[in-house]
Structure 1
């Protein structure tokens, strides 16, 4: 594959994501895809959603293109279609959690089966996680990632911008470890997904003209997992590096969940008290999104690269970045008892 082929596909994916998002926005009212402000919302006026259809369509096309080289990617295409369709149904019908969780669990087990055996997790002090406990642990982590990604898609541009940085960051590390990786179907899928998401981001940047909805957030969460676990399995990017790249989203959502649960609040009850939501009421959506994106690109990505090349220090770096983020999230009001007032 030549560089021109890659540039053509990336440019096409960006344009497709942008144009399809615009088309979905035009059809949102007819399709019943308008988000009315609720207890979770950080916006105050009804806004078209379902822009995730554009992301899913581009990513599905990417998986199908990848499958021309490796037929195994037909499974990723199928999972993408299932997750996007279920997410779209949730956008329209607001499906109950007892229905969502079993479907999510089955999708993630199917994803783990597609990835295949994963390497053991080697922790400091000689501790190792392997055997049957490893896939169970990864499955629970994947289930939390899928749901927290949805929770974190709450202000203009934040989920889309994080997706682009996480995917490109992981790809940069993988290619630095093994340059031929850039010519693999997985790299192609990562590039097309990032480009399509960037095209959607044009319509989703503050002030957002359309939201991605569950059709987009669920699709992106699963695809990030697929790409991350594939690189882990092939020894290109380790668990610590991916945990560092994902750290702003994981830290914010987890701190909010733990603090709310400790006060006896129901974990699944809608709220607007993640750190990014608290900050957005005092600053602006664009400023908070840039803060998270800047941290991921300028702090988390370099630390993830160091973790990859200095495995002896990798888990200590994970601990360091999460400790710093926990302090920040608590300071910013993640999971606090009350919403911060607007300035």
Structure 2
């Protein structure tokens, strides 16, 4: 965990194991532990699979294009991706993708497709199933946004994130996988998972992101708590960090004010007592979370591999408690 206020890092601590188990035993419902000499301790510089925190970087990359005038926030997806017939026919907009109000379902089983051609056919034909304008959290929103960004720039998402965000900010430990030194995630097998891949380390946990080659708008990034602290401090400072500027203050305002673009706002279930005055952030399925609160100029980054050795129902208590302790320390 790394937490701080303004330019000050107040807490930088690590605990537990980045790699503890070699497999999961479904009969005993326990992990099969590695010998102690083979386990890998967690440090504050251990990279973690960020899971859905990737969505924040895709959102920033989109707002950068809005700032440059190459992307219209209220433009229709079909204007950029006419081959995505269902999105074009239903008039889905860029704003709806960024605010999860497109009506698209949460996900599609892209991991079951035979090849990329079949996956793209499925995505292009997928219509909204909900009422447009109504909030429904969906990985598909950020996947479509990825394809919009790649179409208008002619560059893949990993290059956009690197050149537009991580390289100028000096976030040298933030990258799409593979990331060999990362904390392990899951012994990914059916029936608790969607595919059979075995114990995962350094490759993306999300099944759809894996099926798409590891680079996806909704998942795929690996990073450290220190690097994410730079990302948080940049947004708290209005888009600049040292000599680097990735967004103007007015665009950061657009990104972080209601209804917010890509970020969740004031969610006590993971923001604890930081929620309530415009705190923004996100969580990731693997056990990650980031919260930044402009009212107090504070941030909290918590990275964990809670799906190691297998996924369980989410326990958001540690996330909320970390944010609450920060809130009580500064108010």
> So what's the TM-score if we normalise by structure 1?
0.29
Task: Determine which structure has greater relative contact order: mean sequence separation of CA pairs < 8 Å that are 6+ residues apart, divided by chain length.
Answer: 1
Please state which structure has a larger fraction of its residues in strand. 2
> So what's the TM-score if we normalise by structure 2?
0.29
Please state which structure has a larger fraction of its residues in helix. 1
